[in-house]
Structure 1
Amino acid sequence: MNHTTLHRAPIEFSARTATSASQILLAAALALVLAATGLFVNPASAQGWNFSITGFGGKTIVGSGKAVTEPRITPPFNAISIKGAADVAIRQSNKNAVEVFADDNIAPLITTEVQGQTLVIGFKEKTSVRTKTKLVVRVDVATLTAIGISGSGDVTADLLKLESLDVNISGSGDVRLNDLTAANLNVSISGSGDFTAAGSATKQRYAIAGSGDIRSSKLQGTDVTVSIAGSGDASVWATGTLTGSVLGSGDIRYTGNATLNKSVLGSGSISKL
């Protein structure tokens, strides 16, 4: 997936051309996914790109083209949940801070609420927008325990030093951690989003139940476990033990001289890079 742009290729399905049972099932599955994520993506225009947070309906707000940075005041938080199409840039700091970078008439539509210890980033209900300015929510955190994506927004972070981090991707958004140091890392993908990381994490646990990919061959780990029950692929780096399980067509590729424990049922495979 493209990590450098918010543009999303539209998914088109025409009921007129659905002549087989498989096509009908595909349309039904697509509708369920869109309903679950609350996201409807429209074709990009020359002026920007469209997305509707609550599906069909609602007035479309066109971005003004005037970019603003809007600070948000929030209670303390140590986890982040992204719902919708906003990109999120995370920076570890000595304090928590949130700011929205967007068109000046789009920024007020973006919600940043803390529920428990989780910062939830989304949009006001029945909101459809077409932006002219790339929409980014910048988040400073003192510590981070979890990242969740249920939409199409991407998450990036350059330098993180953490004790434990849980990542859950149930949409099409991607997570990229360019320099991670952690004792424990748990990643679960049930959508089409990808997870990419570099650095080191002593214990790593990965589970793929969709078509998303794990790209962690530059993230050194001692004890690594990978479970794939779908078509997603994983590349990892293990120096101690690697436990791999594939049910389906997914592949596990690994680097390092780890002791391998593997189980494969289907057309998938487990092999060294």
Structure 2
Amino acid sequence: MKLKFNLITIFAVGLSLLLAACGQQPIKGSGKQITDNRSAASFNKIVLLGDFEVVATVGGQGPQVSVTADDNIVPFIQTNVKGDTLTVMPAKNKNLLATSKPKITVNAADLTKIELDGKGMVNVVGLKADKVKVKLNGTGQITLAGNVQAVDLRLMGTGIINAKDLKANDAEIRLSGSGQVSAFATKN
């Protein structure tokens, strides 16, 4: 009987904690836009997880990362470099309701991989590399410009990859879903 009571108590406490976490209030933007310039280690890959707008310039002074958003939202936008990858995402368990899409401005010496999961937007200019890999999962949009030897474009979902201004010798394109991919290749 005591064991049954303990199991019921444990279940009730666990369920209460789960429901409390689900009821977390979103963080609503204040409407006051600020820009936070952040230090970053060197990176050549970008991973975007969430609804952000990333504007990346390759070949400029780098590495540089700045975040422009509501003043009460900025602290909850994480920009972390691990290894050679910059990851941009909301803080864990935070639901951000910005008054306008948070903008991440990035300068990097070079980029070889761009990955977007979600419905964000990425615009990259000045790409120069032997090979660039681009992956989009979801409904987001990626726009690329520059010159590369080869590009690997993968789209899973309903998003858009626009690589018409990315001059490549070879292009490999994989599309799963109803999204759109446009590319420029001189050979394939």
Which category of TM-score, normalised to the shorter sequence, fits these structures?
0.7 to 0.9
User: C-alpha separation between the residues in 1 aligned to 2:125 and 2:105?
Assistant: 12
In the alignment, what sits opposite 1:222? Answer: 186
* Cα 1:114/1:199, change in 2 over 3 Å: closer
User: C-alpha separation between the residues in 2 aligned to 1:131 and 1:164?
Assistant: 35
Please state which structure has a larger fraction of its residues in strand: 2
Higher relative contact order (CA 8 A, sep 6+): 2
Q: Tell me, yes or no, if the aligned pair for 1:172 and 1:193 is still in contact at 8 Å.
A: yes
Residue type matched to 2:187 in 1?
D
Q: Does 1:192 align with 2:176?
A: no
Q: Tell me, yes or no, if the aligned pair for 2:51 and 2:101 is still in contact at 8 Å.
A: no
Residue type matched to 1:207 in 2?
R
Give the alignment partner of residue 98 of structure 1, picking from 65, 72, 77: 65
In the alignment, what sits opposite 1:84? Answer: 50
Give the alignment partner of residue 62 of structure 1, picking from 4, 18, 28: 28
User: C-alpha separation between the residues in 1 aligned to 2:67 and 2:106?
Assistant: 9
Considering only aligned residues, what root-mean-square deviation do their CA atoms show, in Å?
A: 1.6
The runs of 5 or more residues in structure 2 that have no matched partner are 1-20
In the comparison of the two structures, how many residue pairs are matched? 166
Matched position secondary structure for 1:77: coil
Residue 222 of structure 1, CA deviation: 2.5
Q: Does 1:171 align with 2:113?
A: no
Q: Does 1:146 align with 2:146?
A: no
Residue type matched to 2:186 in 1?
T
Matched position secondary structure for 2:50: coil
User: C-alpha separation between the residues in 2 aligned to 1:206 and 1:134?
Assistant: 29
What does the per-residue CA deviation read over 1:208-231, in whole Å, with 9 as the maximum and x for residues that have no partner?
122211122xx2x2322xxxxxxx
Please state which structure has a larger fraction of its residues in helix: 2
Q: Tell me, yes or no, if the aligned pair for 2:54 and 2:103 is still in contact at 8 Å.
A: yes
The runs of 5 or more residues in structure 1 that have no matched partner are 1-54, 225-273
Q: Provide the identity percentage.
A: 30
Matched position secondary structure for 2:61: coil
In the alignment, what sits opposite 2:94? Answer: 127
Q: Rg bigger for which structure?
A: 2
